[in-house]
Each structure stands twice: as C-alpha cells, then as structure tokens.
Amino acid sequence: MSYVVRPWALRDLKDVMRLIRVSSGWKRNRTLREWSCPGVVATVLREDGFGMDPKFGCLVAEVPPDQRSKDGHTVVGYQFHYFSYCTWKGRIVFGEDLYVMPEFRGKGIGTSLLSQVAKLALAHGCSQFRFVLANWNQPAMALYEKLGAINVTARDNWVVWHIEGRAMQELAERVTQ
Amino acid sequence: MSYVVRPWALRDLKDVMRLIRVSSGWKRNRTLREWSCPGVVATVLREDGFGMDPKFGCLVAEVPPDQRSKDGHTVVGYQFHYFSYCTWKGRIVFGEDLYVMPEFRGKGIGTSLLSQVAKLALAHGCSQFRFVLANWNQPAMALYEKLGAINVTARDNWVVWHIEGRAMQELAERVTQ
C-alpha cells in the first residue's frame, strides 16, 4: 500500500465533498439526534478554501490508480485544519474531520494526515494541536491517545458551548453603540 | 456607568496583558493543578495581534476617566476571538478569555463584549459562536446559558483533546515524505 498525503487542490473538491458526505452519514448513524446541518456545500467550501483569504487548510491522502478503492476512488482520506489562538499557548492548530475510507484503515493513513498537520503547525509557530469531537468517536480518540494526546475534558473538565441561530442573532442585536 | 466596547489598539497592549495576568491568576486559584504556561508574553501578543496577518481579534471595554477603577484603570474588560471553520457549519467564531474586572461586573459589560463579537461574526458569515472553557468557570457558563448558548459537552458529549510538547514533536517527526 503506497499513498501520498498532500494539500488539497481545486480538483479534489468533488472527492472531499464525497468524503465529507460519507463521514457525515457515518456520524448520523451513531448519534441519537439528526444533525441540523448536512455539512457545507461545495460552492461555500470552494470559496472558503481557495479564496483570497482561505479559512482553513485541507490535506488529502491519495493512493495510486492501481490501488484505487472498490468504487474507483484514489482520494481516500482527508483532514481539515485551521490555525487558531489561545492566550495560554499563543498560536495553536485545530484539527477537524479526520476521515479515512474504511477499506484503507489500519495502514497509518490517519496518522500520516495528523503528522503532516503537526509538522505544518510547528513550522507556523503553533505549540498545540487541538481536537473537538463527540466522545462516541472511539476510533479517533483511540488514535489520539496512541499518539500521546490528552483528553482535557476528562483531565481538566474542559467543556464546549456554542450559540447559534436565533440566539446568536439576538445576541448580536443587543449591540446599541 | 457608561462604557464603550471597541477593537483593541496598540496602546491597549499593556492593559490587556494586565487583564490576562489577573484573569490567569484567577484561573490558577480555582484549578487543582498549576498551569504549564503563564500566558503569552507581550511581544508575542503584539506580533500576533498587530502583524501583517493578525491571528486573533480582541475587543476591550473602556470606562471614562471619571469612572476608572480603584487602582486607576479605564480598560476594564476584554474578549479574544478568532475565526475558525467547521465542515458542519462553515465559518464559525471562537470566543476565548472573556474577562471583566470584578468591580465592573453585573453591569452588562460581558454581554456587550459577546454581542459585539456576535455582530462582527455574523457580518463575516459565521453561523456559530463557540466557546471552550473549564467547567469550574460557573460565572461564564451562567452568562452563556442566559444568552441562549448550549453546553454541547452535556448535550452531545463533545470532548476536547490536545497534543503538545514532546508528543506533538514526535508526531511531526513521523512525516517521511
């Protein structure tokens, strides 16, 4: 099994959308609730990923044509990441949506995607690689743990909150200045 | 009590560093462990906040000179934020380090800081305002809840992991390509 991990290009948009959809279907089946959003659409992803001011980075894992998937695909995994900030740590990188097609798992592709992001992040002066995920995602957590990551929700009681939709609109409308 | 909420300027760097230190002391007293990092230093904060490619935004709350704090300060609160991304939601904004000096609390300053970020984020096409914090920070969580935010760790079992230090170096060194 040979593969390369590389930054995505415009030609990968269709493949990454395919993998996002598969990944999101996988998520949907394992949660109790329906997700409110079916993921971003291709036009938004293209604008935000390849515009003048890209909002995130994406790495893809690609196998040679002779090792393509049963249904004919060569782009078999992806990882989204974005640079972020923390007054404790300074520059940090967030990883999101690590995904490898089931038939290509157990070959180190997930670790390769993560290690490329870690290398890029260190080169950009980041001192931490952070992940936010649902705790039913045992395969991802097992991999993170194997690599020396720490569950800071378990260790330090970190929690995630968010505000969106009508509540976020109402919050914004409180601005009177 | 009158105050303004505005984006920080270079002249606020000293005040924001003061508030970060007070805020971090406050955190230290309420956790079981010593934090490994005393917060970023002013030179890093200046470079990352005011360089060619700012890594985060910061809003400050300022009172008029005749309403300054007992120890003579007019910059009495701050909020860090950075734009981020999510394949479920597209553009999102993260809030970090909401802090208001104790003698100025209960006057709506925290809500004003958050609402300005929400307004800015909506203007930038963000659909979600996300917070990561330790669950002993009851005052912040009470405010988020009042504003309609959702604890997604409690509701959807979201957890936070991170990898840093030697483990992050080792992960980066796995890159062989």
Q: Where are the domains of chain B?
A: 4-133
Q: Which two tokens stand for residue A106?
A: 């157990």
Q: Give the tens place of pLDDT for each residue, B18-32.
A: 898 887 665 554 443
Spell out a b/e string for B127-145, using b for 16 or more CB atoms within 10 Å of the CB, else e. Answer: bbbbbbbbbebeebbebbe
* Chain B: residue whose CA lies nearest to A131: B161
Residue B168 has what pLDDT? 95
Which has more confidence, A21 or A176?
Answer: A21
**Contact state of B161 with A149 under an 8 Å Cβ cutoff:** yes
Count of alpha carbons within 13 angstroms of residue B119, beta-carbon side: 16
Please give the mean pLDDT across all residues of chain B. Answer: 87
Residue A34 has what pLDDT? 39
CA neighbor of A77 nearest in space, from A115, A39, A104, A107: A104
Of B39, B88, B170, the CB nearest to A148: B170
For residue B10, give how far its alpha carbon lies from the nearest alpha carbon of chain A (Å).
17
A8 CB neighbours in chain B (<8 A) are none
For testing contact with chain B, the best of A26, A168, A169 (most B CBs within 10 A): A168
> What are the C-alpha distances in Å from B129 to residues A73, A83, A167, B94?
36, 16, 10, 6
pLDDT higher than threshold 50 for residue A44: yes
Q: What amino acid occupies position A95?
A: G
> What are the C-alpha distances in Å from B37 to residues A49, A145, A154, B34?
33, 22, 20, 9
**Contact state of A89 with B135 under an 8 Å Cβ cutoff:** no
Of B35, B130, B166, the CB nearest to A160: B130
A144 is catalytic: yes
Q: What is the mean pLDDT of residues B156-168?
A: 95
Residue A47 has what pLDDT? 86
A132 CB neighbours in chain B (<8 A) are 132, 158-160
Of A37, A115, A131, the CB nearest to B161: A131
pTM for the complete prediction? 0.86
Query: In this predicted structure, which of A28-32, B56-60, B130-134, B172-176 has the lowest mean pLDDT?
Result: A28-32
Distance between CA B113 and CA B58 in Å, rounded?
Answer: 10
Q: Give the tens place of pLDDT for each residue, B109-161.
A: 999 999 999 999 999 999 999 999 888 888 889 999 999 999 999 999 999 99
**Contact state of A96 with B114 under an 8 Å Cβ cutoff:** no
Q: How confident is the model at residue B34 (pLDDT cuts 50, 70, 90)?
A: very low
**Contact state of B167 with A149 under an 8 Å Cβ cutoff:** yes
Which has more confidence, A103 or B31?
Answer: A103
The CATH number corresponding to B4-133 among 3.40.50.1820, 1.10.510.10, 3.40.630.30, 2.40.110.10 equals 3.40.630.30
